[in-house]
Amino acid sequence: MTTYRSRSLTRRGLLQAGSLLVGASALPWLAACSSSAPTPTQAPAAATSAPAATSPAPAATSAPAASSAPAAPTPTQPAQSTTVAAKTTAQPRSGGSLQVGRLVDIHGPADSLMANPSYILSAQIYNALIHYDEKYQPQPELAESWEISKDGKQVAIHLRQGVLFHTGREFTSDDVKYNTLRVRDPKLGMGQLKTMSEWITDIQTPDKYTVIYNLSAPRAAILDLLNFLFIVDRETAEGPNGNRKGVGTGPFAFAEWVPGDHLRFTKNPHYWVSGRPYLDEIVIKIIKDAQSLGVQLEAGVLNLAELLPEDQTAQYQKDSKYNVVLSTLSGQFYYIGINVTKPPLDNKLVRQAINHAIDRQRFVQSILAGIGQATCIPWPPQSPAYDASKLNAYSFDLDKARSLLQQAGVSNLQLDLMTTIAFPALTQQAQILQSDLAKIGVTLKVETPEPAVMQQRIDAMNYQLQSSTFAYADLEPSSLLIMAAPWNYKGNSSGFKSDQYTQLVESAAAEEDPVKRKQLDSQLTDLLLDESFTIPIARRFGSLVMPSKVHGPAFRPATTQVISLENAWIEA
């Protein structure tokens, strides 16, 4: 049994605590957790059930003995369930093949883990060092416990022993060091983790099961790195098939990938969690048309549909023959990105005019069928940076938009907007925006290139407007502005640069005082609203739709629509 120190913390409290924090140190803005790590003979609780909250324990100055583990503290906000599904009294059974349908193919199971849509499947093959539960409390995974020094500049990670890669090789501290450094390679396209990895100035591996990170400065978001650092097998990743075959320690082993057609995963018989997974096999079929995907689900060809458009999901919610799981804790957002290097979009008044021309409520209610939340700020309600008073800072106001264009001296404006076929809702939103902009004399041309082509144009800054999704907003607030390409303060997809922005992000990332940090978060939100280089439209609640005989599929909290099938099973 592993025992965890429990203390009531502010979101920056873990950096202010007066001694090493032993075990599952809490996210900076939530209190620390206290529970036992599942051993290889213990199966974790189902991902769809939130742990009970109890009263916070008083702060301690040293790690308690295993027999005195205190209770978990009450979180600062009530948890939202990620599951809206029918209940069952049936017991889980082993065996079976889960036939999954999805709309887009992956980029590669190993070489671009952070690239959506590859990343959302990563939990089948890989484990991270920790994971967050539905209350955003960090829980052990490949790391059994961890300690953060008093000054916040050192993190000691104690690894689970006896874990094997799918090849049979033992997982050790050298693998953590390799993966931590690996994400710095720009060829991998994992810039989301590159900055966080570079906070670490030195990595020590004193033994096979201990890793010590030495940081350049206290970083409250360091646990977010541990949550996102899925561990790949070095031998496979550096081998000839590294970009087409993924090997990890996860519940399923990679078996086959036929690009554009399907992927197949098979049960890992040596998985470190006893009794998991239940399924023998997962087959993921690429079906590029949402209507066809629904038809195959209803015909029984598929028994799980991943991330269907919201209007289809809403119909299945009304049908008792189906279970629907929603990621209501999602930190993913629909947005419009603006290339500020292209005149007249370099004028923030023009960008603000576009912001006022977006009918967010219509988007959520008519296109998303109410599955989502209209917003113009990039924070979900569970984020400490969330400020409800700023939620509607940009109301739908075409008169205001017209006035701002006049102030900018812009008339007869013609714009191009790229959107992706991966998100049908955004294509419909673009058509509405096109119609509304026409009312104020702006001509909008809408394009829907293939996702790979669209990404190439974004990378080359060869666009004016683009719409897609961003994520990571449900983590430590600075993580969004470091990890998400539309917001990255060191180089974002809009080409926005600002000394003030850089200073605010860096100050917020290192600020330990919760009151000062709240002020910095507020200033950042105001700057993002004012500059409008990336424009949030609505929170995106992903969905899993399955026949009622399928149980257990869930979204892994705080990992951007990552799907967990470890606990999935099918009734006979």
pLDDT tens string 57-94: 223 222 323 222 222 222 223 233 344 444 567 899 99
- Paired with 102 in beta bridges are 286
The 8-class DSSP code of residue 272 comes to: S
How many residues appear in the chain?
572
- Per-residue pLDDT, 111: 57
Q: What one-character DSSP code corresponds to residue 535?
A: E
Average pLDDT over residues 456-480: 93
Contact (CB, 8 A) for 555 and 540: no
The closest of 1, 17, 142, 157 to 69, measured between CA atoms, is 1
> Which comes out higher in pLDDT, residue 46 or 479?
479
Same domain flag for 534 and 407: yes
Helices 514-531 and 348-356: crossing angle, nearest 10°? Answer: 90
Check whether residue 308 and residue 381 sit in a common domain. no
Instruction: Give the residue carrying structure tokens 């001509």.
Output: 443
Unique residue bearing structure tokens 């032993």 = 22
Report CA-CA distances (Å) from 324 to 43, 350, 550.
24, 41, 10
The residue-averaged pLDDT of 486-513 equals 92
Residue 494 lies in a domain: yes
pLDDT at residue 427 greater than cutoff 80: yes
* Residues 271 and 403 grouped into a single domain: no
- Residue 101 belongs to some domain of the structure: yes
Q: Are 264 and 293 within one domain? A: yes
Q: Which two tokens stand for residue 181?
A: 């450094």
Residues 300 and 339 in one domain: no
User: Which domain CATH number covers 256?
Assistant: 3.40.190.10
Q: Burial-class residue 408 by CB neighbours within 10 Å (0-12, 13-18, 19+).
A: middle
Query: CA 459, CA 444: separation in Å to the nearest integer?
Result: 22
How do residues 209-218 score in pLDDT, each as one tens digit?
A: 999 999 999 8
Residue 529: inside a domain: yes
CA angle 430, 432, 434 (to 5 degrees): 65
**Which residues are bridge partners to 467 per DSSP?**
336, 419
Asked if the structure places residue 314 within a domain, the reply is: yes
Residues 318 and 339 reside in one and the same domain: no
Q: Write down the pLDDT at residue 475.
A: 87
Which residue in 194, 142, 168 sits closest to 37, CA to CA? 142
3-state helix vs strand vs coil in the chain, percent to 5: 25, 20, 55
Least confident of 188-197, 265-274, 297-306, 379-388: 188-197
**Residues 332-349: b if buried by 16+ CB within 10 A, e if exposed:** bbbbbbbbbebeebebbb
Residues 366 and 271 in one domain: no
Preceding peptide of 277 cis, ω within 30°: yes
Interatomic CA distance for residues 546 and 324, integer angstroms: 7
Q: Domain check: are 286 and 349 in the same one?
A: no
- CATH code of 422's domain: 3.10.105.10
Torsion of CA 329, 475, 488, 503, to 10 degrees: 140
Q: Could you tell me if residue 302 is inside a domain?
A: yes
User: Could you tell me what percent of the chain has a pLDDT over 70?
Assistant: 83
Predicted structure pTM score = 0.79
Same domain, 363 and 425: yes
pLDDT digits (tens, 9 = 90+) for 365-404: 999 999 999 999 999 998 999 999 999 999 999 999 999 9
Q: What is the DSSP string of 28-51?
A: TTSPPP--PPPPTT-PPPPTTSPP
Q: Is residue 217 part of a domain?
A: no
Beta-carbon count within 10 A of 525 CB: 20
Structure tokens at 427: 């294509």
Sign of CA dihedral 336, 342, 347, 349: negative
d(CA 272, CA 373): 38
Is the per-residue pLDDT at 504 higher than 50?
Answer: yes
Q: At what angle do helices 499-510 and 514-531 cross, to 10 degrees?
A: 150
Q: What is the C-alpha to C-alpha distance for residues 146 and 34, in angstroms, rounded to an integer?
A: 13
Please say whether the beta carbons of 104 and 288 come within 8 A: yes
CA distance 481 to 499: 14
CA angle 50–29–385, rounded 5-degree value: 105
- Over the chain, what is the mean pLDDT? 84
Q: What average pLDDT does the segment 488-495 reach?
A: 94
pLDDT tens, residue by residue, 45-57: 333 333 333 222 2
pLDDT at 170 over 80: yes
Place of tokens 């060092």: 129
Amino acid 267: pLDDT: 98
Task: Write out the H or E segment, with its range, that includes residue 520.
Answer: helix 514-531
Look up the domain containing 357 and give its range: 333-540
Mean pLDDT of 223-242: 90
Q: Residues 292, 418: one domain?
A: no
Residues 314 and 338 in one domain: no
pLDDT of residue 321: 95
Number of C-alpha atoms within 13 angstroms, CB side, residue 260? Answer: 0
Position 227 in a domain: no
Question: Scanning the structure block, which residue is given the tokens 């993913």?
Answer: 332
User: In the chain, how many domains are there?
Assistant: 2
Distance from C-alpha of 224 to C-alpha of 549, rounded to nearest angstrom:
35
Whether residues 426 and 278 share a domain: the answer is no
Give the pLDDT of residue 2: 32
Q: Which pair of tokens denotes residue 476?
A: 């430590």
- Count of beta carbons in the 10 Å neighbourhood of residue 151: 10
- The span from the CA of 565 to the CA of 550, in Å, is 11
State both tokens at 102.
Answer: 């999805």
Domain assignment present for residue 234? The answer is no
